[in-house]
Structure 1
Amino acid sequence: MPRKFIKRFLPDHQKIKQNRALSMFGTLLHEPNLWHLNRKSASGAFGIGLFFAFWPVPFQMWLSAAMAIPFRANLPLSVATVWITNPFTMPPIFYAAYKVGTTVLGTESRHFEFQFNWQWVVESITTIGPAFLVGCAICSVVAGLVGYFGLNCVWRFSVKKAWDARKAARENNAAG
């Protein structure tokens, strides 16, 4: 069942509530629904986390946490899901988003080499920026929807499978 699998990787909610960096959220973190792990909260968290994972901005985890609170999604899971884009996966994921943007806008792909400086960022906004941002927006929405509905379906399937197994076990016990 996804609940048991996911729960193994989530941190203790009491430790998170006591984290000084999260004090800006105040008593909002004391909402019990943010810590429950059920189909609705988990699928919402996956959708929110995947949505913000494709945003090319710093502090994606803060954005994900800020959206999980009003949507009553599982807070730790929504923050953890953002880490699908990490320093190792960011280059291929953002390059794929750029390619999606060029396809949608009908522009040609430009050859570029990433440089870690402010001047390169400013120059790139006018050259590859529009295609990149459109691609990120499209990938963000699609990934969020796929994450939400995909986990929802996986959760339902696993619950139905567990019910069927219990039903079969009861029938075997009754017959034997």
Structure 2
Amino acid sequence: MAKKTIQRFLPDHNKIKQQKSLKIFGRWLHDANLWHLNRRSARGAFSVGLFFAFIPVPFQMILAAAFAIPFRVNLPLSVALVWLTNPLTMPPIFYCSYLVGVLALGQETQPFHFEASWEWLVQSITTIGPAFMIGSLICASFAAIIGYFGVDYLWRRSVNKAWHARNK
């Protein structure tokens, strides 16, 4: 059940292999374990994908792919999960990450108003940057751990449920 549900949402692996941005990985993309979906590859892919979803850097998909390859987890799933932080969800997720960082560092929240300028970015890095980065790492680690064990639990539960249904 869990495998069929996940496979329904995954893109075709041939389309992913043809992506120009992933050509830098070359022959490593042809490892069959990167495309196979089982409990081990799914829980690892959730962990990698959710971790990089909370890291505020450009090219999150490439980073997720770069870590999915050596860990030999499902590549399409780990890359797709990065889109948890999309243009609609990014502001509230990153604001919550900032609040977690403020709490972890024992600071007070700094008032800020977004401006699309280089000066604002440089000034923000010094004022809210440390709390935001620490909060992002904490949230990324927490999401990766919850994703890993959550998928493992749901996968086992699904297999047990199917096994019991088959025995009846």
TM range (shorter): over 0.9
Match of 1:77 in 2: 77
Matches within 5 A, 1:36-51: 36-51=36-51
Match of 1:139 in 2: 139
- Whether contact under 8 Å (2:21, 2:62) holds in the other structure is no
Gaps of at least 5 residues in structure 1 are 169-176
List per-residue Cα deviations over 1:14-57 (Å, max 9, x = no partner). Answer: 22223333221111000000000110001100000000111111
Q: Is 2:20 the counterpart of 1:20? A: yes
Q: Is 2:56 the counterpart of 1:63? A: no
Match of 1:119 in 2: 119
Mapped to 2, the partners of 1:22 and 1:108 lie a distance apart of: 41
After superposing the two structures, state which structure 1 stretch, 10-19 or 143-152, moved more.
10-19
Mapped to 2, the partners of 1:166 and 1:70 lie a distance apart of: 36
Match of 2:107 in 1: 107
Match of 1:52 in 2: 52
- Whether contact under 8 Å (2:10, 2:77) holds in the other structure is yes
Q: Is 2:107 the counterpart of 1:92? A: no
The Cα of 1:10 is off from its aligned counterpart by 1.0
Gaps of at least 5 residues in structure 2 are none
After superposing the two structures, state which structure 1 stretch, 116-125 or 51-60, moved more.
116-125
Match of 2:156 in 1: 156
Aligned length: 168
Partner secondary structure for residue 9 of structure 2: coil
Partner secondary structure for residue 114 of structure 2: coil
List per-residue Cα deviations over 1:59-117 (Å, max 9, x = no partner). Answer: 00000000000001100000000100010001000000000011111100111112222
Larger C-alpha radius of gyration, 1 or 2? 1
Mapped to 2, the partners of 1:56 and 1:120 lie a distance apart of: 17
After superposing the two structures, state which structure 1 stretch, 16-25 or 153-162, moved more.
16-25
Report the TM-score when normalising by structure 1. 0.93
Structure 1 segments of 4 or more deviating over 6 A?
none
Q: Is 2:30 the counterpart of 1:30? A: yes
Identity of aligned residues (%): 63
Report the TM-score when normalising by structure 2. 0.97
